[in-house]
Amino acid sequence: MNQQFAKIKKAVEVFHSYGITLTGSRKNDHFIQKLNMDPVFVNGLIFELEFELQVILQEEKLKNAGTPKELIQLLLEIPQHN
């Protein structure tokens, strides 16, 4: 449980560096449609999350993660190897 909390904390820091708030209904806003993010910045966000959390997200699963909440859920599904 401690590892998941640490992952969430790092993820929140990355989202905040992109100006994305994860409180209230904002966590359900679509990256491109509601948050008006350019796809290049969405890719940068995903890259930084992968780098900070030392994980690799599968391209097929990323297609279904269009909101911050969905992306965090995807990150938490990745098994820990420690």
What residues make up the domain containing 24? 2-77
In a domain, 82, yes or no: no
Instruction: Write out pLDDT tens, residues 51-63.
Output: 999 999 989 989 8
Q: Is residue 82 predicted with pLDDT exceeding 60?
A: no
Long-range contacts of 70-78 (CB under 8 A, 24+ apart): 71/46, 72/8, 72/11, 72/22, 72/27, 75/7, 75/11, 75/49, 76/4, 76/7, 76/8
Q: Is the pTM of this model over 0.85?
A: yes
Domain count, the chain: 1
CATH code for position 46:
1.10.1200
